[in-house]
Amino acid sequence: MAPKKVLDPENINENIKKLVYAVRGELYIRASELQKEGKKIIFTNVGNPHALGQKPLTFPRQVVALCQAPFLMDDLNVDILFPADAIARAKHYLSYTSGGLGAYSDSRGLPGIRKDVADFIMRRDGYPSDPELIFLTDGASKGVTHLLNILIRNENDGVLCPIPQYPLYSATIQLVGGTLVPYYLSEEAGWGLDVKEMRSQVLEARKKGITVRGLVFINPGNPTGQCLSEANLRELIQFCYEEHIVLLADEVYQQNIYQDERPFISAKKVLMDMGPPYSNNVELASFHTVSKGYWGECGQRGAYFELTNMHPKTVDELYKVASIALSPNVPGQIFVGLMVNPPKPGDISYPKFAEESKAILDSLRRRAHMMTDGFNSCRNVTCNFTEGAMYSFPKIKLPAAAIAAAKRAGKAPDVFYCLKLLEATGISTVPGSGFGQKEGTFHVRTTILPSEDDIPEVMRMFKTFNEDFMAQYEGPQSRL
Ligand code: DCS
């Protein structure tokens, strides 16, 4: 018999075996298989706009193209191919580097871009931001990992996470060996966040010997799509102050807002508005990325996080951790630079940039309505409006017979439903269990990213499937 492998699955890191990341889980794997077999799959499982046909914004790509191929700027035709402001911007970014995009940067990112990020935060919030406390990272995911890594010492350290939550958090907490302490969002209250619920979860955790050291919130929410009010943010900050908890503010969807009642407000601004003792005590890490918004540049892996009220020695330790990977990718950093300093009125490229970005946002807003209304017109389906972010998270009331059938098939009921949806329509979603949901409730997450022209057909297919599914397990719709 061959000797056991060193990396026998029995012997690998237990934390890796235990972690689950549903966004690329069973449903995604089955969808990929069906695609190989020739079935048309609509991938609504990942918030990956360009994969669903969103066109890149022109100006940022022109600038990065020139940064990647600076010799183009020596070509006599460059002025015909590229607008003067793109050329000027490319030269400007290259002056930030020591050796262009092919050279490592500082492990926190290029100082010039970090300064641009700090200026952006200052303009956005009205409070100063220190470039030394800004780290550029390969996607926000990397920054979140750094923070969870430094926060969690062992399994007795807990991090409060919303349920439902984006599984980057549950998976990374598992990976670094900590404990997720859930706080449930209230679906009935538009996925609002309830500090009383958090407090009781902290007490429960303490009884089990867990020290709650961090609190994650996602605003606008993934998968839940809610936008937090200023009052809610204040409560959160006060809670973190009283309980001595670090706040992790995932604000990657800050540009994706589809209603006017609750515009995006950053946790940093609310914290500063609150004044002492909050503004000078509560430790905050805020995350932003080029993957979302009207940029959707997921593949570029550009992001930043900003630290507030952190001990300088802890900042140094984070710098040390970032330096293990030497340098965040430099093209991604240029995208961050462009995101925080897009063309301004009066610039040659401004009209086109404004038109392109507005068209994307306006369309996303319409799509948010189309999806929500579509779901709410389906039997046994209810869906809160997608106020922000990129997802719809309808609740599916599954008949008892469907739950029993799922059990016989050895599947969680929502996985069963999503697999049937996939097989029948090619729509690839993520079951609610991948994000966590209240016991006995079932959800499906879809992105709102299929093109506006495709959405009516996607919703029609969903509705037909759902009607057939419900009829199969519940009998035909009774006439009221
Ligand atoms: N935070 C949240 C709330 C996210 O939804 C995502 C990505 C990230 C962080 C990480 O983004 P980047 O690493 O690309 O900057 N969202 C995933 C999702 O739910 N679907 O697609 C990706």
CATH number reported for the structural domain that contains residue 423 in this entry = 3.90.1150.10
Candidate of 217, 227, 252, 446 to mutate for ligand 1, largest count of ligand atoms within 8 Å of Cβ = 252
Number of the ligand 1 atom closest to the C-alpha atom of 298? 14
C-beta separation of 424 from 465 below 8 A: yes
Give me ligand 1 centre to Cα 23, in Å. 10
The protein residue whose alpha carbon is closest to atom 7 in ligand 1 is 47
pLDDT at 75: 85
Candidate of 136, 166, 300 to mutate for ligand 1, largest count of ligand atoms within 8 Å of Cβ = 166
Give me ligand 1 centre to Cα 439, in Å. 25
Give me ligand 1 centre to Cα 179, in Å. 21
Q: Is the dihedral of CA 97, 102, 106, 110 positive or negative?
A: positive
pLDDT at 25: 80
Nearest 5°: the CA angle 113, 46, 415 is 150
Number of the ligand 1 atom closest to the C-alpha atom of 389? 5
pLDDT at 479: 44
Same domain, 291 and 219: yes
Same domain, 456 and 335: no
Give me ligand 1 centre to Cα 476, in Å. 39
Same domain, 368 and 325: no
Closest CA to 25 of 299, 430, 460, 450: 430
Same domain, 222 and 309: yes
Number of the ligand 1 atom closest to the C-alpha atom of 144? 9
Number of the ligand 1 atom closest to the C-alpha atom of 303? 15
Q: Is 210 domain-assigned?
A: yes
Same domain, 331 and 366: no
Give how many domains the chain has, as a whole number.
Answer: 2
Same domain, 366 and 328: no
The protein residue whose alpha carbon is closest to atom 5 in ligand 1 is 222
Q: Is 402 domain-assigned?
A: yes
Give me ligand 1 centre to Cα 248, in Å. 14
Number of the ligand 1 atom closest to the C-alpha atom of 302? 15
Q: What is the pTM of this model?
A: 0.95
Same domain, 184 and 325: yes
Domain end marker among 294, 309, 340: 340
Nearest 5°: the CA angle 471, 475, 478 is 100
Give me ligand 1 centre to Cα 78, in Å. 36
Same domain, 328 and 382: no
User: Which whole-number Å values give the CA distances from 46 to 35, 357, 381, 475, in the listed order?
Assistant: 16, 21, 21, 33
**Which CATH number fits the domain that encloses residue 294?**
3.40.640.10
The protein residue whose alpha carbon is closest to atom 17 in ligand 1 is 47
pLDDT at 480: 42
pLDDT at 10: 87
Q: Within 6 Å (CB) of ligand 1, which residues are found?
A: 23, 46-48, 139-141, 166, 168, 218, 222, 250, 252, 289, 291, 298, 303
Intervals of the chain under pLDDT 50? 479-480
Give me ligand 1 centre to Cα 141, in Å. 7
Q: Is 32 domain-assigned?
A: yes
Domain range for residue 15?
Answer: 9-39+362-479
